């Protein structure tokens, strides 16, 4: 960044300038070749002297892959149709084949093979035959009851104890439960009626709790109140006692105050009557800022009114200067303006060079 440093340009500008110069050089070469056809063409590329075998003038015409595939399919279909027509028109010509599978037969599809059916039809037929056999057996058993039943299952010779003909009738669980409840209620009602109609019959009980009494609910027990009312009454009595104490203290100030709490005899150092006044933290910070600003303004005023007083400082950077901002430094411009100026100058230089090349084609590149 020194003043004597050469100007530099961005990479983008350099690349753009190189492209412009390359295009200008190519255009100039084309113009020279057009204006001076007597100058021969010089080339060292070996490929310039070779020819493409497939694109030579004497080469046969080629077609695209798509057309070639379509033509091959058409020719193949035509050959197959021709063979079918020849076989149809000349049946005397024997069939020639070299495939071994042509001379074999399928055992299951031979003409003498028995007819077969689909798996679905076979399963359906098996189901129908099984049902017919079962119906036939049922009809035989019905028409010939004299035939004994033959069975090898051991469970056939057993009987159900609960379902035997001589078993008592049973009822469902729901009806049995309901009947038990009805009988229980009827027994309770009968007992109540007997107790009411025959009061001379003593009550028999073996429960020890029948002979006991509740201490709190006995007839001679004092009246009690609910917990909510008791708490409310306690609060009212406490308030009345506090008011009574305040009234006595107010009417009899000659009675001294008695206290055993050690904190009653202590004082707060910061809130004592002789303590200096204090301010809140917010006000203290505000006052500190005001005093700091006043001190700074006072120092500025003294420095302005008494320039003969020297400046005292211990900061080493106070004695240094900025090389780029010194008074004798050349004027500088911002990076944006510098970049724009560099682009304008570069474009002007390129245009000047193009004009010179166009006006003086005799000058070599």
Give the range among 139-153, 228-242, 340-354 with minimum mean pLDDT: 139-153
- Which structure tokens are listed for 14? 């350099």
* d(C-alpha 169, C-alpha 35), whole Å: 133
Q: In the structure, what pLDDT confidence band is assigned to residue 100 with cuts at 50, 70 and 90?
A: confident
The whole-number average pLDDT for the span 244-254 is 92
Q: In the structure, what pLDDT confidence band is assigned to residue 130 with cuts at 50, 70 and 90?
A: very high
Residues 62/54, Cβ–Cβ less than 8 Å: yes
Q: Please state, rounded to an integer, the average pLDDT across all residues of the chain.
A: 86
* Terminal Cα-to-Cα distance of the chain (whole angstroms): 35
List, as own/partner pairs, every contact residues 58-67 make where C-beta atoms lie below 8 angstroms and the sequence separation is at least 24, other chains included: none
Q: In the structure, what pLDDT confidence band is assigned to residue 180 with cuts at 50, 70 and 90?
A: very high
The whole-number average pLDDT for the span 249-259 is 86
pTM over 0.75: no
Q: In the structure, what pLDDT confidence band is assigned to residue 191 with cuts at 50, 70 and 90?
A: very high
For CA atoms 144, 145, 146, 149, the dihedral sign is positive
> Is pLDDT of 60 > 70?
yes
> Is pLDDT of 362 > 70?
yes
Q: In the structure, what pLDDT confidence band is assigned to residue 1 with cuts at 50, 70 and 90?
A: low
Q: In the structure, what pLDDT confidence band is assigned to residue 225 with cuts at 50, 70 and 90?
A: confident
For CA atoms 290, 291, 296, 300, the dihedral sign is positive
The whole-number average pLDDT for the span 190-204 is 89
> Is pLDDT of 335 > 70?
yes
Please report the pLDDT score of residue 110 as a whole number. Answer: 84
């Amino acid at each position: 960044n020194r003043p004597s440093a050469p100007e530099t340009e961005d990479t983008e500008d350099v690349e753009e300038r190189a492209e412009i110069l390359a295009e200008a050089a190519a255009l100039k070469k084309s113009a020279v070749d057009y204006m001076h056809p007597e100058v021969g063409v010089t080339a060292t590329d070996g490929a310039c002297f070779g020819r493409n075998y497939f694109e030579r003038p004497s080469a046969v015409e080629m077609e695209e892959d798509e057309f070639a595939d379509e033509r091959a399919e058409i020719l193949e279909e035509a050959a197959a149709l021709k063979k079918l027509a020849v076989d149809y028109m000349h049946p005397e010509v024997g069939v020639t084949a070299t495939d071994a599978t042509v001379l074999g037969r399928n055992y299951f599809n031979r003409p003498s093979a028995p007819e077969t059916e689909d798996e679905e039809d076979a399963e359906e037929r098996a189901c129908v035959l099984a049902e017919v056999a079962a119906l036939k057996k049922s009809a035989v058993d019905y028409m010939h009851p004299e035939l004994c039943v033959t069975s090898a299952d051991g469970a056939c010779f057993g009987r159900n104890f609960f379902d035997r003909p001589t078993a008592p009738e049973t009822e469902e669980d729901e009806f049995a439960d309901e009947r038990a409840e009805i009988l229980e209620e009827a027994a309770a009602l009968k007992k109540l009626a007997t107790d009411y109609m025959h009061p001379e019959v003593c009550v028999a009980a073996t429960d020890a709790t029948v002979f006991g009494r509740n201490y709190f609910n006995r007839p001679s027990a004092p009246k009690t109140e609910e917990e909510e009312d008791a708490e409310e009454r306690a609060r009212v009595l406490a308030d009345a006692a506090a008011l009574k104490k305040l009234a006595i203290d107010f009417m009899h100030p000659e009675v001294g105050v008695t206290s055993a709490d050690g904190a009653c005899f202590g004082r707060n150092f910061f809130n004592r009557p002789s303590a200096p006044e204090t301010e809140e933290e917010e006000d203290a910070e505000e006052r500190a800022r005001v005093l700091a600003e006043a001190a700074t303004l006072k120092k500025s005023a003294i420095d302005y009114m008494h320039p003969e007083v020297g400046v005292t400082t211990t900061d080493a950077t106070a004695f240094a200067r900025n090389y780029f901002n010194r008074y004798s430094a050349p004027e500088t411009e911002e990076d944006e303006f510098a970049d724009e100026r560099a682009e304008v100058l570069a474009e002007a230089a390129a245009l000047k060079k193009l004009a010179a090349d166009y006006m003086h084609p005799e000058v070599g590149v």
